[in-house]
């Protein structure tokens, strides 16, 4: 029987991520595409922050060592609006440059969809849960 993630848009991963300045410059892996499969990420949800994400005004989502090989979102600034523990934000790609993630890519980092915090929340240890939705084929 095939994986349900191959039959429709599904939750691919749910990951607790450091969103504060403690994470500046560090890639955090959200989903690794299975070997031999390809993946389309359709949206990302940021939810359940540990506190305000004010100050988190530059993050990149994508593949590669610095989440910049295939960009899903680059220089996302709206996360500063997530200020209460019951806030969430839905992000979809705004670029026609985003490509399918190749699960057969030679470099492991090119199979890993992640987030890189460039300018994190003022609360240095702030965290949030990030849900990645999409499908594999």
pLDDT at 74: 73
Q: What angle do CA 82, 87, 93 make, to 5 degrees?
A: 65
pLDDT at 1: 52
CB contact at 8 A, 80 and 54 = yes
pLDDT at 94: 66
Residue by residue, pLDDT tens for the chain (137 residues) are 567 777 789 999 999 999 999 999 999 999 999 999 999 999 999 999 999 999 999 998 999 988 887 778 777 778 888 989 999 999 987 666 677 889 899 999 999 999 999 999 999 999 999 999 999 99
CA distance 117 to 130: 13
């Amino acid at each position: 029987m095939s994986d349900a993630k191959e039959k429709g848009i599904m939750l691919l991963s749910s990951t607790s991520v450091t969103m504060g300045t403690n994470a500046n410059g560090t890639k955090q892996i959200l989903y690794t595409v299975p070997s031999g499969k390809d993946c389309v990420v359709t949206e990302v949800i940021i939810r359940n922050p540990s506190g305000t994400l004010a100050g988190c005004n530059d993050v990149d989502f994508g593949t590669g060592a610095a989440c910049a090989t295939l960009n899903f979102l680059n220089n996302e600034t709206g996360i500063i609006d997530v200020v209460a523990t019951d806030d969430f934000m839905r992000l979809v790609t705004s670029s026609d440059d985003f490509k399918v993630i190749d699960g057969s890519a030679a470099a492991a980092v090119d199979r890993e969809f992640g987030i890189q915090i460039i300018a994190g929340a003022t609360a240095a240890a702030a965290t949030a849960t990030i849900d990645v939705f999409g499908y594999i084929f």
